[in-house]
Structure 1
Amino acid sequence: MTAENCTALDELPDDVAAAAFRRLVRHLQHRHDAQNIELMGLAGFCRNCLADWIRDAGFEGDKAAAREVIHGMPMEEWKATRQKPATDAQIAAMEASVAKNRVD
């Protein structure tokens, strides 16, 4: 990402950014077929990362509360009703993808 792209992103009005974030979260809540392990393998982040990021941004709830906001249900319910076991290939793809993440 270039410095120019970062400036444009930083200048995005907060209400627009918030609306886009909420749309992303609702999309992920609807598309529970997109498993977290697959998101991690492709993009290097998942729903749990989003929960961590809202905490980093100032959300006052604990990790479980943040995950409930993002998943739309308690984590235990998500795991029981939505999460499938990860394959060795998915784990390997996740590890390779996460290795590409940069620290901002």
Structure 2
Amino acid sequence: MDEQTEIELQAAAFRRLQKHLMQDRTDVQNIDLMNLAGFCRNCLSRWYQEAAAEKGIDIGKEAAREHFYGMTMAEWKATYQTDASPQQQADFKVSFAENVTGKD
């Protein structure tokens, strides 16, 4: 497979993951994704922002989130986010430390 086709397939898979998380499974909370998989929608938007920076494109955190979510973070939270339980919050602290803090 040539490199351009590989890039196009990877981009298509990413778009499908984005659609799945943003349209098909809005019931799944970010905190649950983070606790179970070590990443969440915010991580994906941050990775998008970091990839843009590597290309010399400056996209702020909120703009990257809005691009990924298809709405502002405030709109997403008001529409889909539920309150996290104390156990979810405790698990999140561990998962965040393991998967985000100090990672390049």
TM-score, length of structure 1 as denominator length: 0.79
Partner of 2:11: 18
Partner of 1:5: none
1:52 aligns with 2:46: yes
Partner of 2:72: 74
Aligned pair count reads 93
Instruction: In structure 2, list runs of 5 or more residues that go unmatched.
Output: none
Q: Distance in 2 between matches of 1:67 and 1:101?
A: 19
Shift of 1:96: 2.5
Displaced runs of 4 or more, over 4 A:
none
1:83 aligns with 2:68: no
Given that 1:42 and 1:93 are in contact with CA atoms closer than 8 Å, whether structure 2 keeps it comes out as no
Alignment partner of 2:28: what SS?
Answer: coil
Instruction: In structure 1, list runs of 5 or more residues that go unmatched.
Output: 1-11
- The worse-fitting range, judged by mean Cα deviation, of 12-21 and 37-46 is 12-21
Shift of 1:66: 0.8
**Deviation by residue 1:45-79 (Cα, 9 ceiling, x = unmatched):** 11111111001101542111111122121111011
Partner of 1:92: 90
Q: Distance in 2 between matches of 1:100 and 1:67?
A: 22
Alignment partner of 1:13: what SS?
Answer: helix
Q: Distance in 2 between matches of 1:63 and 1:99?
A: 20
Partner of 2:59: 61
Shift of 1:29: 0.6
Partner of 2:27: 33
1:82 is aligned with what amino acid?
A: Y
What's the % identity of the aligned pairs? 52
